[in-house]
């Protein structure tokens, strides 16, 4: 049976999100309907609104209209045929890492980069509709809605004591940041780390570096207000980026020749280059974490790579669904700080205010309470 739900929909690039009443299909085989309680606003949602989302699906343009939102937590409302492992009432978080379980990458354990991920991200089997026309679900989730229907493999059951308005943030921002340091780079104890861009993701890279035991953690941002929170989360140094500053030299000066690891968390081509070049030659590892605009290319002198600097990237923190439980444990044990990062809370119909604060840099993470 179809039901009606309120959702935030992006219709075309450059237009604000609209709150609309959509039809939501009943969960089909292998699918689960989730009653959402909280959803985080991530920069990728803003990219969809502004029309700059990268062509991830073989270069096909992004498909509008779409229900925005890819961080969410709530409870299982009902399960379609053949779903095992979930029951109505289970607290869950949604994780935008669709995986088939059968392709060579899934079989090798790298479900986070399953070949089918990007097909699912565009979600051809849209479960939302309006006036009979399909409305897709961003990242296959569509969490800015009262309820959504998703494949069961996109759900992670969470400890009941984990509050939904913190759990939702783990679905993308926290995992992307903490995971980039802990799972993708496997930062080693005693090492030095430089983090470019201290938004919701970069600040979590700092936490991840601290949890991994890094002893020099340099945060770089153009917003001086980010210094205090960066230091609270584990940064040992803060560099204020200005149009004329040279973070490469500054990082090398603080790390005896270059950082062991660096992370670019903005998606800015110049910063991606600086992040590579500030690492130590012979072993420095620089990971691209921020999503760069569609169609753009990065450059550096080949010599930088010949001399042993390594360039890589991290998608969703290299995390598998089972890794998310670890992050929840860290939060509940007081090792992972989420409370200071969730700076604003809004109702669904206030969503565009949340995007304004994201653009102005006033918020770190805004959470919708649904
Ligand atoms: Zn995100
Ligand atoms: Zn797969």
Whose atoms come closest to the Cα of 102: which ligand? 2
Overall average pLDDT of the 182-208 stretch: 97
319 C-alpha to ligand 2 centroid (Å)? 14
Stretch 72-77: mean pLDDT: 98
pLDDT bracket for residue 51 (50, 70, 90): confident
| Backbone torsions φ then ψ of 124, nearest 5 degrees | -60, -30
**Interval between CA 176 and ligand 1 midpoint (Å):** 8
Lowest mean pLDDT among 61-65, 77-81, 129-133, 230-234: 61-65
At residue 124, does pLDDT exceed 90? no
Q: Provide mean pLDDT across the span 130-154.
A: 93
pLDDT recorded at residue 109: 80
Mean pLDDT of 32-42: 97
The pLDDT score that the predictor gives to residue 63 is 80
Beta strands in the chain (DSSP E): 3-10, 18-24, 31-40, 66-67, 72-79, 91-94, 128-130, 133-137, 147-151, 155-157, 192-196, 216-221, 237-240, 261-264, 285-288, 310-313, 342-346, 365-369
User: Which pLDDT belongs to residue 292?
Assistant: 85
- For residue 65, whether the previous peptide bond is cis, meaning omega lies within 30 degrees of 0, is yes
Whole-number average pLDDT of the chain: 92
Counting ligands in written order, which one lies closest to the CA of residue 110?
2
CA–centroid distance, residue 116 to ligand 2 (Å): 6
Cβ contact 63:136 at 8 Å: yes
Residues of the chain above pLDDT 70, percent:
95
Identify the nearest ligand to the CA of 114 by its number: 2
Instruction: Identify the residue whose tokens are 């950082």.
Output: 259
Q: Is the pLDDT of residue 246 over 70?
A: yes
Residues with C-beta atoms within 5 A of ion ligand 2: 99-100, 103, 106, 114
CB under 8 Å to 271, separation ≥6 — which residues? 196, 197, 264, 290
Q: What is the DSSP letter of 306?
A: H
- Binned at pLDDT 50, 70 and 90, residue 120 comes out as low
Ligand minimally distant from the alpha carbon of residue 47: 1
Q: Are 81 and 153 in contact (CB under 8 A)?
A: no
Structure tokens given for 51? 């029309």
pLDDT at 61: 62
Instruction: Tell me if 90 sits within 8 A of 76, measured CB to CB.
Output: yes
| Band of residue 106 on the pLDDT scale cut at 50, 70, 90 | confident
CA 52 to chain centre: 16
Please give the pLDDT value at position 35. Answer: 98
Per mean pLDDT, which range of 18-22, 293-297, 366-370 is the poorest? 293-297
Q: Look at residue 341 and give its three-state secondary structure.
A: coil
Segment 269-300, tens digit of pLDDT: 999 999 999 999 999 999 999 988 778 899 99
Helices 226-233, 200-211: axis angle to 10 degrees equals: 30
As a whole number of angstroms, the distance between CA 166 and CA 171 comes to 10
17-31, 63-77, 123-137, 145-159: lowest mean pLDDT where?
123-137
Distance in Å, CA 113 to ligand 2 centroid? 8
Report the C-alpha gap between 247 and 237 in whole angstroms. 12
Structure tokens at 98: 């669709």
Distance 244 CA to ligand 1 centre (A): 30
* Distance separating alpha carbons of residues 300 and 288, to the nearest angstrom: 14
For residues 217 and 238, what is the distance between their CA atoms, to the nearest angstrom? 9
Count of C-beta atoms within a 10 Å radius of residue 303: 9
- Measured from the alpha carbon of residue 116, the closest ligand is 2
pLDDT tens digit sequence for 224-245: 999 999 999 999 999 999 988 8
Question: 3-state class of 279 per DSSP?
Answer: strand
C-alpha of residue 290 to centroid of ligand 1, in Å: 10
Please give the pLDDT value at position 295: 81
How does residue 56 score in pLDDT terms, banded at 50, 70 and 90?
low
Cα–Cα distance list, 10 to 47, 57, 210, 272 (Å): 11, 19, 37, 29
User: Does residue 335 register a pLDDT over 80?
Assistant: yes
Position 185 scores a pLDDT of 98
Ligand nearest to the CA of 113: 2
Q: What confidence score (pLDDT) does residue 139 get? A: 85
> What is this structure's pTM?
0.90
pLDDT at 293: 79
Determine the distance from the C-alpha atom of residue 280 to the mean position of all C-alpha atoms in its chain, rounded to a whole number.
Answer: 27
Q: Which ligand is nearest to the CA of 100?
A: 2
- Ligand 1 centre to CA of 224 (Å) is 24
291 alpha carbon, closest ligand:
1
Q: Which listed ligand is nearest to 108 at the C-alpha?
A: 2
Alpha helices, DSSP H only, in the chain?
Answer: 43-50, 104-107, 117-122, 164-169, 175-179, 200-211, 226-233, 247-254, 269-277, 302-306, 321-332, 351-360
For residue 211, pLDDT beyond 70: yes
Report yes or no: 222 and 240 within 8 Å, Cβ to Cβ.
yes
């Amino acid at each position: 049976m179809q039901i009606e739900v309120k959702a935030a929909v992006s219709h075309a690039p450059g237009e604000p999100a609209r709150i609309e009443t959509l039809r939501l299909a009943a969960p089909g085989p292998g699918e689960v309907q989730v009653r959402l309680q909280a959803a985080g606003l991530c920069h990728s949602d803003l990219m969809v609104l502004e029309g700059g989302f990268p062509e991830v699906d073989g270069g096909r343009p992004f498909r509008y209209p779409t229900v925005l939102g890819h961080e969410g937590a709530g409870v299982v409302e009902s399960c379609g045929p053949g779903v095992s492992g979930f029951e109505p009432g289970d607290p869950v978080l949604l994780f935008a890492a669709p995986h088939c379980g059968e392709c060579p990458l899934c079989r090798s354990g790298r479900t986070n980069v399953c070949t089918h991920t990007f097909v699912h991200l565009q979600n051809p089997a849209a479960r939302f509709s309006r006036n009979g026309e399909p409305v897709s679900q961003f990242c296959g989730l569509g969490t800015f809605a009262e309820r959504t229907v998703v494949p069961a493999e996109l759900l992670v059951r969470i400890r009941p004591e984990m509050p939904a308005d913190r759990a939702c943030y783990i679905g993308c921002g926290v995992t992307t940041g903490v995971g980039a340091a802990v799972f993708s780079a496997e930062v080693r104890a005693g090492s030095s780390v430089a983090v470019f861009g201290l938004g919701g993701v970069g600040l979590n890279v700092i936490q991840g570096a601290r949890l991994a035991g890094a002893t020099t953690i340099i945060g770089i941002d153009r917003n001086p207000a980010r210094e205090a929170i960066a230091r609270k989360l584990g940064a040992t140094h803060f560099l204020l980026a200005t149009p004329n500053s040279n973070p490469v030299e500054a990082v090398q000066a603080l790390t005896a020749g270059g950082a062991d690891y660096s992370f670019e968390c903005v998606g800015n081509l110049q910063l991606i280059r600086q992040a590579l070049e500030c690492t130590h030659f012979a072993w420095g590892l620089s990971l691209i974490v921020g999503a760069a605009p569609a169609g753009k290319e990065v450059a550096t002198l080949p010599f930088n790579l010949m001399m042993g600097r390594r360039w890589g990237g991290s998608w969703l923190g290299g995390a598998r669904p089972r890794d998310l439980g670890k992050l929840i444990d860290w939060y509940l044990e007081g090792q992972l700080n989420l409370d200071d990062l969730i700076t604003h809370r809004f109702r669904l119909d206030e969503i565009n205010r949340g995007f304004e604060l994201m653009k102005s840099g006033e918020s770190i993470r805004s959470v919708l309470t649904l």
